[in-house]
Structure 1
């Protein structure tokens, strides 16, 4: 599972912001030749940490395992020494402040050195060993997304590979606090698909909280909020909608919606085109604009008719739900959801398809 695009640009920006005070830790920008992309786990003083080194990509980071919030690192070098400079924002509106300097050298297959706050007390010893996430036992239920995280982002896997809290109707990921619906009598593949949706949101939630200034990281009103709901359950199909609201320390909060249609047996996504092959993008836009005229003011209607729209879709008992996803942030309030009754789409449907009977009487 790749780090979500929603937060990747912000993470890159946070990394480059650390360059504001290149003299804080000393050295010359860039890593020594021996430094390669790798994940490590070890101790800083007596505290367990995990560290991802990604030279030249502004993605190096580490976290204290007791907190699990990433701290961005920027690479410098002094001779053969690797210097990793950490910087954080202490309060909203403030600039990044350099809060620590790693000085590291190879030691066998790992790294050894020190960490010290600029102008602070004595340096703390740092010992790091390679982190091979593929050798760690699974503590969360196995799923394709968890395995991708294990392979592609060992630090995130280390955080989220833990027992999750299950009830009859939901699953809660304890580190992020996010919950996701459960489906009664779900197949194994469907349970895995739902877990992976929660996992992707949980990774985003912790990335978001890591980007907040420190005075907001403990504020429950800041960060990342997920509202996920089952909107339809049928014999062959289920559908869900995710609404996410996030404030990650940028200029303003933001939000997005995601609709999902899943095959109940396989857990795989079902494209609306599989159910309604004749439902073209142009027809979808026409149906949307016809329905939305009764829901929005004239100024929003002007925005909605200016250019082709992109939609996220989910199913409800009343019909196909269309929600625009392509509006600029300033017009996001115009993104009303329109419900297109299934009867209006019957002529577009594949009557011989596996999902027809879930939505239409023969």
Structure 2
């Protein structure tokens, strides 16, 4: 949900000695102030004056409330919430006048209760050298989320041991999002790089939860489970399974693995690990970012051609040889067809002790076919087709 967050080197955070003003490049502006006597954070996009959009949260609760309306001259008329599911119930409104430094005016409930609103352009607390790189990068693209996270803290949960590595699990109490950090078994520098990625991902999932809540309103569901799959001196690999309903016709679910190169702290793409094409492996752009950095048009086209024309046919051929029974063509329309090339093009993948797990992705009517437990590519095969990053893989 939150894309394009550029990685900020830890040392760079220490260079911030000024408090920055909060606005995003796409026209969104962020304000802080009060509604009545309660502190709030507001994001508004007034670029299209007849279709103003926004959201706000009470600093005490952090839960988004949607805003929509219009700007006429210097008067902003907004509705809080929506009736997207046909409820046609009266909604709170805000009427604000522009000031030299923000907005001021009045909030009114459907019952007629009125409260004053005062907003000024937000000034962000500067990141420090101890700020997690993921959070330190937020002021540049997502200042609103940066301010939300200032009020949230992780709580330590259970301790665990996986493949000989001590893990500390952390939970963000309001969203119940949970993930682990590695506490032993790696060098100090490797451990720091890996944990920056892991905790950055945890906070990214917290942001995704709030984005889902904003879309789904009172009916939102967002349940998540993180599971370590392999930890070694070379890689830390985990899978994050999410079941969610963020509005729309149906709930859904999906896997979103994270595979980290221990020596660099970079997330790994499948092309970094496995390459079955001609020439040099593609150097996937997301390796240089904490989020999913968008590929250029040329990169995107090259990757599409490689995946569709080379990788997917190769994967089907390998799995047909390794798992002939599972890959057998179905006899009925409702059976899982693992020969279908379309199901492997966006495979979630992660490391296991035995090899690379490549998942299948079916259309909604056959989602029960997702996540086959057998689709593992042995390391003996993977090593014959190394990717862009030199990794010490298990024997498998």
Please report the TM-score for the alignment, with normalisation by the length of structure 1: 0.77
The 5 A counterparts of 1:115-130 are: 115-118=107-110, 120-130=111-121
Q: Distance in 1 between matches of 2:368 and 2:321?
A: 18
| CA offset digits 1:62-113 (Å, max 9, x no partner) | 12222222111112234431111222459xx543645111111122312111
C-alpha contact (below 8 Å) 1:132/1:154 kept by paired residues: no
- Asked if 1:195 is matched to 2:199, the reply is yes
Match of 2:76 among 73, 82, 87: 82
Which secondary structure does the structure 1 equivalent of 2:384 belong to?
helix
Deviates more, 1:273-282 or 1:228-237: 273-282
Counterparts in 2 of 1:124 and 1:317: CA distance versus 1, 3 Å:
same
Question: Could you say which residue in structure 2 is the equivalent of 1:165?
Answer: 155
CA root-mean-square deviation: 3.0
| CA offset digits 1:3-22 (Å, max 9, x no partner) | 359xxxxxxxxxxxxxxxxx
- Asked if 1:312 is matched to 2:312, the reply is no
Counterparts in 2 of 1:236 and 1:63: CA distance versus 1, 3 Å:
same
C-alpha contact (below 8 Å) 2:44/2:52 kept by paired residues: no
Q: Which runs of 5+ in 2 are unaligned?
A: 5-26, 160-167, 185-189, 278-309
Question: Could you say which residue in structure 1 is the equivalent of 2:317?
Answer: 286
Q: Distance in 1 between matches of 2:52 and 2:368?
A: 34
Q: Distance in 1 between matches of 2:321 and 2:86?
A: 47
Which secondary structure does the structure 1 equivalent of 2:34 belong to?
strand
Question: Could you say which residue in structure 1 is the equivalent of 2:32?
Answer: 41
Deviates more, 1:267-276 or 1:314-323: 267-276
C-alpha contact (below 8 Å) 1:166/1:172 kept by paired residues: yes
Question: Could you say which residue in structure 1 is the equivalent of 2:215?
Answer: 211
Question: Could you say which residue in structure 2 is the equivalent of 1:180?
Answer: 179
- Asked if 1:68 is matched to 2:81, the reply is no
Which secondary structure does the structure 1 equivalent of 2:383 belong to?
helix
Counterparts in 2 of 1:285 and 1:98: CA distance versus 1, 3 Å:
farther
The 5 A counterparts of 1:334-349 are: 334-337=369-372, 338-349=375-386
Counterparts in 2 of 1:105 and 1:184: CA distance versus 1, 3 Å:
same
Aligned residue-pair number = 316
| CA offset digits 1:222-266 (Å, max 9, x no partner) | 521111111111111121111111012332110111223211132
C-alpha contact (below 8 Å) 2:42/2:56 kept by paired residues: yes
Following TM superposition, by how much is the alpha carbon of 1:176 offset from its aligned partner in structure 2, in angstroms?
Answer: 1.5
Match of 2:99 among 90, 101, 107: 107
Q: Distance in 1 between matches of 2:87 and 2:325?
A: 46
Counterparts in 2 of 1:305 and 1:122: CA distance versus 1, 3 Å:
closer
C-alpha contact (below 8 Å) 1:86/1:98 kept by paired residues: no
Q: Distance in 2 between matches of 1:160 and 1:82?
A: 27
C-alpha contact (below 8 Å) 1:313/1:323 kept by paired residues: yes
Q: Distance in 2 between matches of 1:61 and 1:98?
A: 18
Q: Distance in 1 between matches of 2:394 and 2:384?
A: 13
Question: Could you say which residue in structure 1 is the equivalent of 2:135?
Answer: 146
Deviates more, 1:302-311 or 1:71-80: 302-311
Q: Distance in 2 between matches of 1:58 and 1:303?
A: 46
- Asked if 1:329 is matched to 2:370, the reply is no
Counterparts in 2 of 1:266 and 1:201: CA distance versus 1, 3 Å:
same
Question: Could you say which residue in structure 2 is the equivalent of 1:249?
Answer: 247
Following TM superposition, by how much is the alpha carbon of 1:40 offset from its aligned partner in structure 2, in angstroms?
Answer: 0.5
Question: Could you say which residue in structure 2 is the equivalent of 1:52?
Answer: 43
Following TM superposition, by how much is the alpha carbon of 1:170 offset from its aligned partner in structure 2, in angstroms?
Answer: 1.2
Q: Distance in 1 between matches of 2:340 and 2:227?
A: 29
C-alpha contact (below 8 Å) 1:143/1:193 kept by paired residues: no
Question: Could you say which residue in structure 1 is the equivalent of 2:390?
Answer: 354
